[in-house]
Amino acid sequence: MYQKVKGTQDFFNLDVEKFRYFEKVVTNIIKKYGYEEIITPIFEHTDVFVRSSGEESDLVSKEMYTFLDKGNRSITLRPEGTAGVVRSYIENKMYAQQNLKKLYYLGPMFRYERPQAGRYRQFYQFGVEAFGMSSALLDADVILSAARIFEALGIKNIKLHINSIGDLASRTLYAEVLKEYFSKDINHLCGDCQSRIHKNPLRILDCKVDKDNPLLINAPKIGASLSDEAIKYFKEVLEILKAAGLDYEVNENLVRGLDYYTDTVFEFVYQGDDAMDGLTICGGGKYSNLVKSFGGPDIPGVGYAFGVERILSIMAEQNLYPTLKEKTKIVLIALDPVSKIQTLVLADSLRKKGYEAELDYFNYNLRPQFKLADRLHPDFIIIIGEEERSKKQLTIKNKIANTQDTILEEELFTYLKENYHENA
């Protein structure tokens, strides 16, 4: 028997309804902020991810699903959404249409990570990217949209961590400071970090192997290397968040695991007394140079991505799903072969009118057909047998009113209209 690949999940039954409920809520809200949906391919040329996230990031060096296609091209299943959206933004010259372009996406991402609670090898991200301007207001508005979505979903116990990693000049200076600091104790770092010192010392700070190493915990913070301009920009972002009433905590250790960020970086972290405690459910930030480094114009972007499975689990934990509203369900029961065909034809016209209708395809006895009805919890059961057919009638068990009615076939839609109540 085949089993699913480690780190992947099947969604079925109520889990699919929950996923779609999440999708409905987030898309509803994000559209109010002016975002339009973008759908990009699930795979891209490998270089799209290497260039954007950086060769030294865990994402690129350890976690990518990369393969050669039959044309000998190196292809990678997308480990995150931003790089593909940036590639598409430039390739389709979206910057020519309008100054500010706001895009959102929802789809599967792939990372070869060790599976554990809230960590998968195929997982879904809902993400946004806003291109066009360097503005503390825009950064704050992006962060606010994420917070408002969590509110709408009813998720509590989350904390917003925020930091600035400055502009390119600040980061270059900080890289030098870190290089000097770590070089003294290079032997206390893992093998990967020993090579990161030379190539990209910032990446040492989010190393998963060395994460509890005191050397990392006590490393100099970026704050001291920030340029005046970067400090001013960060202060502005914080002031706007405060004005909007959003609680945050400045976390000087927050640098994020991908290379493309500049200035504002942030994460929403779940704090619960369950296995999900401490998990980041949303991460993002500003990226001033990514579009340009892909060969596009000098246009900054800012965005974030939610880990959908993590959010769905927290919602289950906190009991946040409403009773998912179903449409009128009608089950049709037939007592002989000719009636069976009639129920199929009737089901077809009911569905065309927008009703959800189901029938039993095998049985002519009442018992198994009522068993099916029991399982589906219909609002109405329509029964057709020889007697009904001869009189052009239908027998209807109305489960809302708890009655049994006999009506003429031609009166069916009027009957349903009169007897179906939205809130039943």
Q: Contact positions toward ligand HAM, by CB under 6 A?
A: 80-82, 111, 113, 118-120, 123, 125, 127, 129, 257, 280-285, 303-305, 307, 309-310
Which residue is nearest to ligand HAM, using beta carbons?
307
Whole-number Å distance between alpha carbons of 286 and 266: 9
Burial class (CB in 10 A: 0-12, 13-18, 19+), 392: exposed
Residue 83 or 381 having the CB closest to ligand HAM: 83
Residue 18 or 188 having the CB closest to ligand HAM: 18
Whole-number Å distance between alpha carbons of 384 and 396: 9
| Min dist. Cβ of residue 122 to ligand HAM (A) | 8
| Min dist. Cβ of residue 218 to ligand HAM (A) | 24
394's tokens: 């239908």
User: Taking the mean position of all CA atoms in its chain, how far away is CA 106?
Assistant: 5
Q: Which of 409, 403, 422, 399 is nearest to 350 (CA)?
A: 409
Residue 233 or 355 having the CB closest to ligand HAM: 233
| Min dist. Cβ of residue 127 to ligand HAM (A) | 5
Query: Residues 106, 124: contact at Cβ < 8 Å?
Result: yes
| Min dist. Cβ of residue 206 to ligand HAM (A) | 10
Residue 48 or 407 having the CB closest to ligand HAM: 48
Q: What is the dihedral of CA 234, 259, 249, 166, to 10 degrees?
A: -20
Whole-number Å distance between alpha carbons of 396 and 237: 62
Please list, in sequence order, all residues whose beta carbon lies within 8 angstroms of the beta carbon of residue 89, skipping any fewer than 6 positions away: 95, 101, 103, 129, 131, 291, 296, 301
| Min dist. Cβ of residue 168 to ligand HAM (A) | 17
Residue 35 or 123 having the CB closest to ligand HAM: 123
| Min dist. Cβ of residue 111 to ligand HAM (A) | 5
Residue 94 or 357 having the CB closest to ligand HAM: 94
Residue 102 or 111 having the CB closest to ligand HAM: 111
Residue 119 or 329 having the CB closest to ligand HAM: 119
Which amino acid appears at position 198 of this protein? H
- Which letter, b or e, does each residue of 341-358 get, where b requires 16 or more Cβ atoms within 10 Å of its Cβ? ebbeebbeebeeeebbbb
**DSSP state letters, 262-312:** EEEEEEEEE--SSTTTT-EEEEEEEESSHHHHTTS-S--EEEEEEEHHHHH
| Min dist. Cβ of residue 299 to ligand HAM (A) | 14
| Min dist. Cβ of residue 120 to ligand HAM (A) | 4
Query: Residues 176, 220: contact at Cβ < 8 Å?
Result: no
Residue 148 or 188 having the CB closest to ligand HAM: 148
| Min dist. Cβ of residue 137 to ligand HAM (A) | 17
